[in-house]
Amino acid sequence: YRIKVRVVCARAYHALFMNNMLIRPTQEELENFGEPDFTIFNAGQCAADPHVEGVGSGTSVAISFERKQMVILGTEYAGEMKKGVFTVMHYLMPRAGVLSLHSSCNEGPDGDVSLFFGLSGTGKTTLSADPSRLLIGDDEHVWTENGVFNIEGGCYAKTIDLSAEKEPEIFNAIRFGSVLENVIYNPRTHVADYSDRSITENTRCAYPIEFIPNAKVLCVGGKPQNIVLLTCDAFGVLPPVAKLTPAQAMYHFISGYTAKIAGTEEGVTEPEATFSACFGQPFLVWHPVKYAQMLARKMQENNVNVWLVNTGWNGGAYGAGKRISLKYSRAIIDAIHSGELQDAEYSTYGIFNLQIPTAVSNVPAKVLDPSRAWEGTTEEFNGTISKLAHLFLANFKKYADKATPEIIAAGPRL
């Protein structure tokens, strides 16, 4: 399934970035490289011509599957190259009968594999970088008949508010050879300030996966046993963890929900729902239901457990409640991997009809049920959860024509 990629760029850091992010060929492979399967031309310092048909601004990121080329104009954000390759793989892999996934992946001591789906800011990279498990990859994978493999050879981690205490594996991976992007540093000491948001909230670091001490190289694993769908719910009404039925798993996978919060993007003043099909809509080439159907078959064939994990707000919406503690999210993931949640007692939660555990080790029981944790009035809670439910239902209408009745019925019930 591997393809050969050539990068032609004007900036050295772009070349280093892609060397970090893609699977690095051996010297022998380089000498026998031949013609590439796909070529990226990155001229991001040059603006695109908005008078050209199909170009609406000075920024253009264009892919031609016919020419097997990608051209980048008007943006120097290095992530465009990485995501371009992912888009190509999202086209090629389903054609080859295997499933491409916007997910991170790790492996336990007994060889059990977990996939983590989630949009930016939900904790996909953070929660998969677990010192007790081997990291297979943090963003892009393919699920075949034999198991999973990482499309990439590196990690692209968010660094906003990064610290050695909270995320030691990522913090220590930032060293010579890594690429920091949009990060401000002291010009005298060259010490990075990971709290500085003066350029953007989207500060990043690209490093080879070997810089993570417990990375599994080669980055391949067996068939997944657990799938975690991550969301950052800024409305404060989704539970920190819920066990999903197969139909619910498909509904939430196709929905791909998270929320933007005030301060992260210009013009966002209150929590704003964001839906990105299959947790990666910008990279999808086929209809989202095609990827969902392939995932459903994999889940059924391998009897996979699927969990919805909210790393967002609890006790109230953004501005009133608090972000769920990272230590609680880690404890929930540990309980999934230990089998504790497989044998837990569950209760039915609200109009989303989710099964939530009554207890999880090292997580306060009150936190597990957002209706109990809510610090405002009951009317405020009911209004907020109804608002989010309506947003889910409105979003899913665009996929209802290709979804089964069971999947449609797995959504919120008003």
Q: What is the pLDDT of residues 365-406, one digit of tens each?
A: 999 999 999 999 999 999 999 999 999 999 999 999 989 999
Indicate the pTM of the whole model.
0.91
Q: In terms of Cα–Cα distance, which of 136, 135, 141, 153 is closest to 93?
A: 141
Higher model confidence: residue 251 or residue 270? 251
How many Å apart are CA 259 and CA 384, to the nearest integer?
14
Alpha helices in 96-177 (DSSP H): 124-128, 168-173
Q: Per-residue pLDDT for 272 more than 90?
A: no
Helix (H) / strand (E) element for 333: namely helix 326-338
Binned at pLDDT 50, 70 and 90, residue 266 comes out as: low
Q: In terms of Cα–Cα distance, which of 38, 40, 45, 36 is closest to 10?
A: 45
**What pLDDT does residue 267 have?**
56
Q: What is the pLDDT of residues 300-312, one digit of tens each?
A: 999 999 999 999 9
Are 136 and 106 spatial neighbours (Cβ–Cβ below 8 Å)? yes
Looking at every residue in the chain, the average pLDDT score rounds to: 94
Higher model confidence: residue 269 or residue 210? 210
Q: Per-residue pLDDT for 356 more than 80?
A: yes
Binned at pLDDT 50, 70 and 90, residue 247 comes out as: very high
Q: Residues 6 or more apart from 291 whose CB is under 8 A from it?
A: 94, 99, 100, 278, 284
Q: What is the pLDDT of residues 143-176, one digit of tens each?
A: 999 999 999 999 999 999 999 998 899 999 999 9
